[in-house]
Amino acid sequence: MKHKLKICGMKIPANIAEVVALQPDYIGFIFYSGSKRFIEDLDPSLIKNIPAIIKTTGVFVNEDLETVKNAIVTYKLKAVQLHGQESAAYCKSLKGHAEVIKAFGIDENFDFDTLDEYQAYTDYFLFDTQTADHGGSGKTFSWQLLENYKNRKPYFLSGGIGVEQLAELEMIQDERLYAIDVNSRFELSPGLKNTVLLSTFKQALDKI
């Protein structure tokens, strides 16, 4: 199965246009002010006018529910990625407004049974490296831990993925792996992506 590609952490207008031209499946914008890739006062029209074939995704961390719903409308977001301690009930409240992607930081202590209550209220899970900064660490977790994942929900794989991981990605035989999420390993600086490197990665990923 061909994996989808999500390019996350965009905030610079000209660079956004360059990444859109690559036609990833998802493009992510971080609405969390604690992130180095926070969109700040980015013009909503730059996100709203991205071709509908690309799913614009808002990344939120423990945000007020109404603020998320308003952002979905203001920016015409196709998906929301929840990167904090949002509850299953919180996810349920967003179903129908946009695709719901619930992110979880994975380490050797993670209990995959905690995902069960989210099953009915999310479209996808996202597995990232467990950090205090809610992602964007550039660090990869041990993908062998995914052997403990028994749920049928498809998932995004995130956390320090770069061109160096292409061979490992090709070895993953898991039909639940829906999308690859990339960010910091393709950056020239926080929020500024190397589109030449991204293009190379995307072409290689398309062949896996």
Active site residues: 8, 128
Half-sphere exposure of 26 (CA within 13 A, CB side): 27
- CA dist 156 and 178 (Å) reads 6
- CA dist 107 and 176 (Å) reads 19
First-last CA distance in the chain: 8
- CA dist 162 and 169 (Å) reads 10
Residue 111, beta-bridge partner list: none
The secondary structure of the chain in percent helix, strand, coil, rounded to multiples of 5, reads: 35, 25, 40
